Chains A and B, each alone.
Chain A
Amino acid sequence: MDFNDTPEEAAFRQRAQAFLAAHAEPKSAQKESLQKRLSDKEYMLAAKAYQKAKAENGFAGITWPKEQGGQGLAPIFSVIFGQEEGKYDAPAGPFTIGLGMCVPTVIAFATDAQKARHVGPALRGEEIWCQLFSEPSAGSDVAGLKTRAVRDGDDWVINGQKVWTSGAHYSDWGIVLVRTNPDKAKHKGLSMFFIDMKSPGIEVRPIHQMSGGSNFNEVYFTDVRVPHAQMLGGEGNGWSVALVTLMNERLAVGGSPGPDYKEIFDWARTMPGMEGGSLAEDAAFRQKVADWYVRAEGYKLAKFRTMTALSKGQTPGPESSIGKIITANQLQDITHNAMEAMDHFGIITDAAHAPAEGVFQQSHMWAAGLRIAGGTDEILKNIIAERILGLPGDVRVDKDVAFKDLPSGR
């Protein structure tokens, strides 16, 4: 048992470190993040330049086949690069979904000519991709989506609405899951397309989140034409194609999404407690710090176990579903406790007055969304129960019924 890289991994890590030192700024508590410092436009330019540098230096498409311009390396190298990149304020965000989920789907299902046209520009950061699956009435039950595509000559005509689409406003291309046959059962009438986001009839509107910000979009489709040749995986096979996309999502192993045990414990030294000393000396608070530590370390160490499996050439299973359940709930709990410890002062979000510049208040708002995004706690628990523990699926009322005949409520 050890935590060391193999010689090959160590050499790769060293190369990654050298690359990052030359092309990105280390994260720093003293310095405002790149995204805050730059305008949206400037940030996007920086992101594209960074992605181009990654491609030129052999750090783009690490696990992709060489014939697609990738590096043809095992997934462990992608994790290693992610670990090192995580230490930097690298503008990689705009490419996460496209390169992590969309383009791998294109690689799996598109024609050679299409791949030749699209993969390179995506890899070099020249074109950004987004993923259009969720709808207002199809979230956890994404196969219940209603956006329709109707065949018209060599084209399909799309009408409907997508929601929670990250980056739709700056994306050049998207993969969109639509219903092509409502007479078939729910999962059988879907098809996947890739689509030019500048097509006439596509309208992108930002969603105003409860946190006040706008990180996602609604995308409206009104008579949008897409060539039949851009269907991925064949008519009626959209669900299997979507599963390939979502499979890739699970490989993206995330870190801590906000203040964790370390941050709240450091901060607690500056806060008055209930026993005459600082909050960090209160017995009840210390018990909670221990719980947070155990969970944060447990998750970090579970990722080391995943890395070990990857390093041995095994593919990680649905075990990684536990990650977001732990981190999102822990974030909500820690920020809740920090705010309670501030007493009435905890209500202040004004950075000029709020302790720790309001980071706990901000993260507390964000945590509520994190428990839903990319699979709710409940769906993730279903995945654990069904795919890991092998429990039976729920009784289905939507099997073998034409989609058009299913009850849909509101």
Chain B
Amino acid sequence: MNFDFSDDQKYLKEQARKFLSEQSSMAVVRTILNDDTKSHDAKLWQAIADMGWLGAAIPEAYGGLGLGELELCVLAEEMGRSLAPVPWASTVYFFAEALKIAGSEAQKQALLPGVADGSVIGCVAASEGPGEPRAAHLTTRFDGSSVSGTKLPVADGDCATHALVLVRDETCGGAASLVIVDLRGAGVSAKSVKTFDPTRSHASITFDKAPAHVLGEAGDGEALLSRIYDRAAVLVSFEQIGGSQACLEMATDYAKGRYAFSRQIGSFQAIKHKLADMYVALEIARSNAYYGAWALSTDAPELPLAAAAARIAGCEAYYLASKENIQTHGGMGFTWEVDCHLYYRRAKLLALQAGAPALWKEKLVRRLELRNAA
């Protein structure tokens, strides 16, 4: 039994934590929080590119470091812990991973080296309104060469150079396809939208006959997006456990230092049991995330089920940890100056992008039925 990360991977994680505590301090996160005109921290983005992280899991042939998904998982945990205000998740978990599993040789050669050096910022434009985006309801259309329609919200859509767009494909009877659009080209206008988590920017993108080319098979968009989401769900779950861990540590430190009724509030069982519940939820999330990491890194048939479990547990742990961290801090926790709300915001963002927990629970049960039928 070796259900843990290797010493090298743990070392990478340690290095990442050190680097991010210096380069992505809360002061850095707050400059993005407080400035509506800034989508992300460009300096941090370049620093991360220089570290090679953007191409960590990209093969060397495409300009990456050629490490594996497990290395990406440990980096994800630290990125989640630090709340780094950069389009990392959109670019690395969604865009680059999508290209890796479905991109043509030409697409990979054209885009992956740019991802690795930080010049390409990717995003996924799937949603158009409340609820899961399904082919039957899509109004954004693809005519074989260009895309027209509006996508909202698109995470990192105002700073991305490229988008994966879920479209109703008129070349194959209205089935969904995923297409790649260069957002710097003609027929694209992006407008920032305010969200619950301003440390990660979002946009509304309108396409008007914007040139596009299909990723993977035409008409296979829903299935492909589902595969992309499975992979991303595992990586996001590591961000979630990183964030949950940060909340738990923050609440624990505060409970030790804050006195009420002439004693440390952490000596009250009401606080202890709250923090113990956070710990238990985090352990469940961490264990499911590790299994997702194993399935992702070995391309195991268990991945769809493991990814769903990792996502559900990650959402639950982070929500619990971020709200009870505020509660532990009392009135102070509700102020703008104390960092509790930054995690509360991020927890919600991570739980709502790429499918909310209720959707994943239904997915999980369907996958369980498939496994049982097999």
Contact = CB atoms under 8 A, between A and B. Distances in A.
A316 B6 CA distance: 18
Nearest to B363: A290
- Would you call the interface of chain A mostly helix, strand, loop, or mixed? helix
A307 B2 CA distance: 8
Contacts of B51: none
Interface string B350-373: 000000001011101100100000
B368 A308 contact: no
Contacts of B364: 290, 293-294
Interface string B288-301: 10110110010000
Contacts of B313: 294, 298
A372 interface: no
Contact of A391 (B70, B266, B368): B266
B255 interface: yes
Given A289-B368, A293-B309, A305 B4 contact: yes
Contacts of A297: 287-288, 291, 309
B277 interface: yes
Contacts of B1: 3-5, 9, 76, 304, 307-308, 311
A220 B109 CA distance: 81
Given A1-B5, A283-B362, A290-B364, A302 B263 contact: no
Contacts of A4: 1-2
B275 A1 contact: no
Interface in B272-323: 272-273, 275-277, 279-280, 283-288, 290-291, 293-294, 297, 308-309, 312-313, 316
Contacts of A382: 269, 272-273, 276
Nearest to B314: A294
A287 interface: yes
B264 interface: yes
A112 interface: no
A3 B266 contact: no
B267 interface: yes
Contacts of B264: 391-392
A391 B263 CA distance: 12
Interface string A292-327: 011101111110110111010000000100100110
A395 B266 CA distance: 11
A385 interface: yes
A293 B271 CA distance: 28
Contact of B276 (A3, A295, A305, A385): A385
Contacts of B291: 297, 301
A402 interface: no
Given A297-B291, A378-B273, A395 B280 contact: no
Nearest to B9: A1
B275 A385 contact: yes
B272 A286 contact: no
Nearest to A301: B287
Contact of A388 (B256, B279, B294): B279
Contacts of A1: 2-6, 70, 290, 293-294, 297
Nearest to A288: B361
B252 interface: yes
A352 interface: no
A371 to B, nearest CB: 14
A287 B362 contact: yes
A392 B284 contact: no
Interface in B1-55: 1-6
B269 A307 contact: no
A121 to B, nearest CB: 34
A43 interface: no
A153 interface: no
Residue among B275, B294, B358, B361 having the largest count of chain A Cβ atoms under 10 Å: B361
A82 B257 CA distance: 43
Contacts of B3: 1-3, 301, 304-305, 307-308
B2 A286 contact: no
Contacts of B294: 1-3
A1 B284 CA distance: 18
A60 B54 CA distance: 53
Interface in B241-275: 248, 252, 255-256, 263-264, 266-269, 271-273, 275
Contacts of B276: 380-382, 384-385, 389
24 contacts: A1-B5, A1-B6, A2-B2, A286-B361, A290-B312, A291-B361, A293-B364, A294-B288, A294-B364, A298-B313, A301-B287, A302-B283, A302-B287, A304-B3, A305-B3, A308-B1, A308-B2, A381-B273, A391-B255, A391-B266, A391-B267, A391-B271, A392-B263, A394-B267
Interface of B: 1-6, 70, 248, 252, 255-256, 263-264, 266-269, 271-273, 275-277, 279-280, 283-288, 290-291, 293-294, 297, 308-309, 312-313, 316, 358, 360-362, 364-365, 368
Given A302-B286, A391-B272, 20 more contacts: A1-B4, A1-B6, A265-B368, A287-B362, A289-B365, A290-B364, A293-B365, A294-B309, A294-B364, A298-B288, A298-B309, A301-B3, A305-B4, A305-B290, A307-B3, A326-B280, A381-B276, A382-B273, A389-B279, A392-B256
User: Which 10 residue pairs across A and B have the least CB separation, nearest first?
Assistant: A298-B284, A290-B361, A385-B272, A301-B287, A381-B276, A391-B266, A384-B276, A304-B3, A302-B287, A290-B364
Interface of A: 1-5, 9, 76, 265, 283, 286-287, 289-291, 293-295, 297-302, 304-305, 307-309, 311, 319, 322, 325-326, 378, 380-382, 384-386, 388-395
